[in-house]
Amino acid sequence: MKIGFSRHNINPTWPLELWGFAKRHGKSDGILSDLYVRVLTVSGENTSLVIISLDVGAIGGDFADHIKEDISKKIKIDKNNIIISTTHTHSAPALIKLRNAGIPDERYMNMIQSIIRKTVVKANKDQIPAKFGYGFGKLDFGVNRRENEIRSDLLQNSGLIDPDVSVVRIDNLEDIPLVVLFNYAVHPVTLYADNIKVSADYPGEACKYIENNLNCEAMFLQGTCANINPKIFGDFEKTKTIGKALGSEVIRVAEEVETHEISSFEFTPHRVKLPIEKPPSIDEITEIISRHENFYSAEPTIFEETELEWALDLYSILNKNPKVIPQYVDQSIGILKLNDLSILFLAGEIFVETGLKIKEILNPQKIIVVGYTDDCSLGYLPTEEAYKEGDYEVEQAYKYYGLFRYAMNAEQILISEIVRFAKK
């Protein structure tokens, strides 16, 4: 097997809206830490794969498809064998619309596409023979925000989290580390809503720490962190604290890993149809709009503003042609198998409970689960239990993201399809 790696800075050079927090005051003002696109290309006898990691919050399906088409033509690879993963930092420019929380800038999006193309071409050109190994560590820096009151305190109870720090080390044939891939499941929101400076948040700091101390490249793949926040937040010192802790654990695990020749390399893309909940009727939407206009016009909250915008957008569609309302979303799944290790790539914001269920079914010591891949246009994919409880991820978030939300049984369908697909 051969691998190639390349990275390139994607910092904006002009002020832009940052993504992920509602009603930030002003556009970006300076750089706290650099944003990168990181590209790993893998080639075997019969299969090639491109893994792209972007230091941004999320991307939409149209943007991902456009990039994949471009790369497919440029390096002659099946577009289905291209993965675009995002680290989910909330301190980067928007690449997908979030109502009142980040609108994409076309000029920046064009710049990103050009940089990605060049970075993929370089990584593909620079491929060399390699071998790999993997291991797992633990880190308790997350807190389940649906279970616990969030406070900036490392001693607080975590609730249900996924503490796994998953590490893949790729060496050249002389046992010198080339790239370390690592995976952890915590929202990159250490800088919170009052920050207007660009930053890759803790994943960027962890990458930098690994690169400086292990003398190799690093690539972060976000886990199923939809409902998991960092235990500490508020300023860049907190960002560096988590980044260093994660980077140190990655290095500890990586140094214990033994790498071997890759006897089995396979990537299988798949599509799954997940049901979408039937939206409110046009009469119900009209009632929502009327309620906002009559009661919330004086001093609306951020969510009230967002819900009104959502209702007006949905009304426009229902009024024109209610038959175009989708019944499901056709979503991507990808499984990369390297010897006995599987890396599962999933779209959307996946709850930690879902990730843990998948790991338990498929063997937690043989699988890494990656979220925020290719398309996050529907946002959160809640569990059935979360639907019964309600709250932000269920009742509000989809109105920031788009128009529709997943049906209550979508998570169970996803898990069943993953298990069926993975065990083939």
Assess whether pLDDT exceeds 80 at residue 122: yes
pLDDT, tens only, 188-211: 999 988 999 999 999 999 999 999
CB 179 within 8 A of CB 218: yes
Q: Supply the pLDDT for residue 296.
A: 65
Q: Supply the pLDDT for residue 34.
A: 98
Assess whether pLDDT exceeds 80 at residue 294: no
Assess whether pLDDT exceeds 90 at residue 386: yes
In whole angstroms, give the CA distance from residue 168 to residue 171: 10
Q: Supply the pLDDT for residue 24.
A: 87
Q: Supply the pLDDT for residue 143.
A: 97
Assess whether pLDDT exceeds 90 at residue 320: no
Q: Which residue is it, tokens 């993953």? A: 418
pLDDT, tens only, 51-93: 999 999 999 999 999 999 999 999 999 999 999 999 999 999 9
Q: Supply the pLDDT for residue 401.
A: 95
Q: Supply the pLDDT for residue 380.
A: 97
Assess whether pLDDT exceeds 90 at residue 23: no
Nearest one of 85, 143, 113, 6 to 371, comparing CA atoms = 85
Q: What share of the chain is helix, strand, coil (3-state, %, to 5)?
A: 35, 25, 40
CB 19 within 8 A of CB 56: yes
Assess whether pLDDT exceeds 80 at residue 26: yes
Sign of CA dihedral 67, 210, 93, 398: positive
Nearest one of 61, 125, 108, 44 to 337, comparing CA atoms = 44
CB 170 within 8 A of CB 130: yes
Lowest mean pLDDT of 56-60, 325-329, 356-360, name the range.
325-329
The model's pTM: 0.96
pLDDT-derived band at 364 (thresholds 50, 70, 90) equals: confident
Give the percent of the chain with pLDDT over 70: 99
Q: Supply the pLDDT for residue 293.
A: 80
Q: Supply the pLDDT for residue 291.
A: 87
pLDDT, tens only, 125-145: 999 999 999 999 999 999 999
Q: Supply the pLDDT for residue 297.
A: 61
Mean pLDDT of the chain: 95
Assess whether pLDDT exceeds 70 at residue 393: yes
Assess whether pLDDT exceeds 90 at residue 263: no
CB 199 within 8 A of CB 239: yes
